[in-house]
Amino acid sequence: MAVSFQPSRILTFEEARHVVEEHASQLRPHGRELLGLIDAVGRVLAEPIYADRDFPPFPRAARDGFAVRSADVQKVPATLEVTGEIKAGEAHIPELGQRQAISIMTGGAAPARADAIVMVEYTSRSGSRIEVARAVSTGENIVSKGAEAKREDKLLEPGTRLSYAEIALAASVGRSRLLVNSKPRVAVLSTGDEVVDVDLLPGPTQIRNSNTYSLAAQILAAGGDPVLLPIAPDEPTRLRELLTEGLEADLLLIAGGVSMGKYDLVEQVLSELEAEFFFTGALIQPGKPIVFGSVPSGEAHRERKYFFGLPGNPISTMVTFGLFGRPLISALSGATPQKLMFLRAKLKTAIKTKIGLRRFLPAAISGEFEQSAVELIAWQGSGDIASAARANCFVIVTPDRERIEAGEWVPVLLKSSF
Ligand code: AMP
Ligand code: MG
């Protein structure tokens, strides 16, 4: 078949990310399932979650102490008579009279006429009397009924990724099962005649396949279901077979074979499959040869199946997955789109580089709060897997900078966000 090659299309990082986000916004998950709370951890909610009652359902004591009327303890020290006790879960709530106090535990329901809790630390008790050493203001240490949420308030939107706080919220409204979106199936195809699988002994000039496994790990962390294909040789017939198989998944990630080399055949074979390329490179390092496109699929070719051609150098593969693959997997999971979230840290040692590319350089961040400091990991370029394993983050260098001085605050992306 005659293949018409589309001209190369190299975008800035921002443009490329925008293109991916635009396509991602058209994608929907392919199904839903009902899961128990623990199985739903990390999944994306497919239904809204509502408050089944007011939160808190009663005026809740936020401290161990004494329920009082604040007016009685404006002048201190004040002596009050202790007339009862309320523990958490207590159903019978005694009345509170003037110049009286009721001993109350955190989580107990405050009496109707109490408007504050005096912390036990500010009282001294002798028999049935307490002396209060500190005044309290109205509402102090009491969370009023419905202050956190009112019955039928929407607490979680569909599209929310379920982490521990969301799981706790679902539990608190009595939802032991949650409707979540199905995980997208993400096919992984590593290419290269030099690449052998992990259980084989590589020849002197061969290397083991690590990209399939780093990608599988990243797909799992992003909420996808990895589908691992056999390694594709740099030979068009078998490559085409495996690409076709990979395109049956919801998304196909190809690693390697997208650079300018004579045996980088991925784009050529994808063109034969009527691929449309949205970009064929981005001005980033590592990962410049990143390719994003789609092929027609489904009935009468009305749908599109997306693929990424990720450069095969292992750190390029990792970084381009994090920057471009991840948002597409999120979209296929039905998650509300998220921007990349950066930290800032003070650079320990100056960086000298060249202008033109946005760089994502493996680095180690240490210290905390305003002492956060970061320094680059020495690396031998984007093939250096050991440097990626030593790093806990990537420092971002903007394309207009040739030099960044020690002491400057620089943007940092945590490795875990990739
Ligand atoms: P490519 O993008 O195919 O030109 O590959 C770039 C570099 O990445 C080459 O040095 C490859 O040997 C290496 N590489 C390609 N695929 C893999 C893989 N699956 N695992 C580890 N390294 C790879
Ligand atoms: Mg290759």
Predicted confidence (pLDDT) per residue in 28-42, tens digit = 999 999 999 999 999
Give me the pLDDT at residue 3, please. 54
Query: Looking up tokens 């994808």, which residue turns up?
Result: 270
Q: Is the CB of 210 under 6 A from ligand 1?
A: yes
Ligand 1 test: best mutation among 188, 195, 197, 267, most atoms within 8 Å of CB? 195
- Ligand 1: which of 268, 313, 319 to mutate, most ligand atoms within 8 Å of CB? 313
Q: How far apart are CA 340 and CA 130, in angstroms?
A: 55
Contact 195 CB / ligand 1 (< 6 Å) = yes
Phi, psi for residue 246 in degrees, rounded to 5: -65, -30
Work out the pLDDT band at 7, boundaries 50, 70, 90: confident
193 alpha carbon, closest ligand: 2
> For residue 277, is pLDDT > 70?
yes
| Ion ligand 2 contact residues with beta carbon within 5 A | 192, 256-257, 312
Six token digits for residue 287: 């990962």
Question: Would you tell me how many other CB atoms lie within 10 Å of the CB of residue 396?
Answer: 18
**Helix or strand holding residue 332 (H, E):** helix 326-332
- Can you tell me whether residue 408 is helix, strand or coil? coil
The closest residue, in CA terms, to atom 14 on ligand 1 is 312
Q: What is the Cα–Cα distance from 97 to 109, expressed in whole angstroms?
A: 16
Q: Are 410 and 398 in contact (CB under 8 A)?
A: no
Judge contact between 191 and 254, C-beta under 8 A. yes
Q: Which residues pair with 279 in a beta bridge?
A: 292
CA–CA separation, 401 and 381 (whole Å): 19
Ligand 1 atom nearest the C-alpha of 255 is 16
Q: By the 8 A CB rule, do 254 and 308 touch?
A: yes
**Would you state the pLDDT for residue 301?**
84
C-alpha span between 277 and 396 (Å, rounded): 27
Nearest to 175 by CA among 40, 31, 44, 59: 40
Between 5 and 6, the higher pLDDT residue: 6
Which of 207, 231, 239, 291 to mutate to test ligand 1, by most ligand atoms within 8 A of the CB atom? 207
% pLDDT > 90, the chain = 94
Average pLDDT over residues 85-103: 97
Report which DSSP code applies to 168: H
Shortest-distance ligand to the CA of residue 311: 1
- Interval 308-344: pLDDT, tens: 999 999 999 999 999 999 999 999 999 999 999 999 9
Closest to 326 (Cα-Cα) out of 292, 360, 359: 292
The candidate with the shortest Cα–Cα distance to 130, out of 103, 161, 93, is 103
Amino acid in position 22: E
**Is residue 206 lining ligand 1, measured as CB closer than 6 Å?**
no
CB atoms within 10 A of CB 170: 20
Please determine, for residue 174, whether its predicted confidence score (pLDDT) is greater than 70.
Answer: yes
Listed residue (36, 6, 16) closest to 281, CA to CA: 16
d(CA 406, CA 164): 38
pTM score: 0.94
pLDDT attached to residue 5? 58
Q: Three-state DSSP class for 328?
A: helix
Tell me if 417 sits within 8 A of 340, measured CB to CB: yes
CB 77 within 8 A of CB 203: no
Q: pLDDT band at residue 351, thresholds of 50, 70 and 90? A: very high
Please work out whether the CB of residue 228 comes within 6 Å of at least one atom of ligand 1. Answer: no
Mean pLDDT over the full length of the chain: 96
Alpha helices by DSSP H, listed for 282-376, are 314-320, 326-332
DSSP code of 322? Answer: I
Q: What is the DSSP letter of 139?
A: T
All domains in the chain, ordered by first residue: 10-31+183-332 (3.40.980.10), 34-54+154-181 (3.90.105.10), 60-143 (2.170.190.11), 343-417 (2.40.340.10)
Our answer on whether the CB atom of 314 is closer than 6 Å to any ligand 1 atom is: yes
How large is the average pLDDT for residues 180-197? 98
Q: What is the mean pLDDT of residues 49-56?
A: 98
Q: Is 196 in the pocket of ligand 1 (CB under 6 A)?
A: no
Tokens of 246: 């990979």
Strands 393-397 and 409-414, by their bridges, are antiparallel
